[in-house]
Amino acid sequence: MRLAVLISGRGSNLRSILESERKGSLGKAIVSLIISDKRDAKGLKYSKEYNKKAIILESNSYNSREEYDNQLLKVLHEHDIDLIVLAGFMRILTPFFVNKFINRIVNIHPSLLPAFPGLNAQKQALNHGSKISGCTVHFVSEEVDVGPIILQRAVDISNDDTEESLSQKILKHEHEILPLALKLISEGKISIKERNIIVEE
């Protein structure tokens, strides 16, 4: 299963995926392509470290979301990508794009969805007074952060947690469940039918 990992920033989840592949624990998945929408994304350094092809598609080089997504589709098809992984990719994909790769786009989100979708999920959890938060791997649908859930991991919120400390707690678990989800999908143990997750033993 050929993966394209899309990033915008530091790429820590990208690194966890690449390290899992190097250790042989990513199942039948291989990272075939890294795409960044920012030329200065720190995560691009991992393309050299792990000998992976990287392409930069800068947002400000295109006149509209639709134009950007059409170019993104072209690049993905040229590289025969089977599954797209959004690993800190800060663009919202158009419904047109999502439907071209329906049930073949995976995202990692720093909350226990459906709680606290969108930006600043950790801050939302703290402001709400939640005692538990976590992270979610889910399939991407047309609406933001509401696609079928694949895996979740919970973390306790301490009274003295800040947005930064909670983010670090959650990130540790993101690095574990995202590669695991990709492994399960690549081995055919996780699939989706009519918005329902099917788990094979």
Query: What is the distance between the alpha carbons of residues 32 and 6, in angstroms, rounded to a whole number?
Result: 11
Question: CA of 116: how far to CAs of 121, 122, 123, in Å?
Answer: 5, 8, 9
Query: What is the distance between the alpha carbons of residues 34 and 44, in angstroms, rounded to a whole number?
Result: 8
Structure tokens at 62: 């295109």
Phi, psi dihedral angles at 51 (to 5 degrees):
60, 55
Quick check: is 109 catalytic?
A: yes
Single out the catalytic residue among 79, 109, 128, 138.
109
Pairing between strand 149-156 and 132-139? antiparallel
Residues identified as active-site: 109
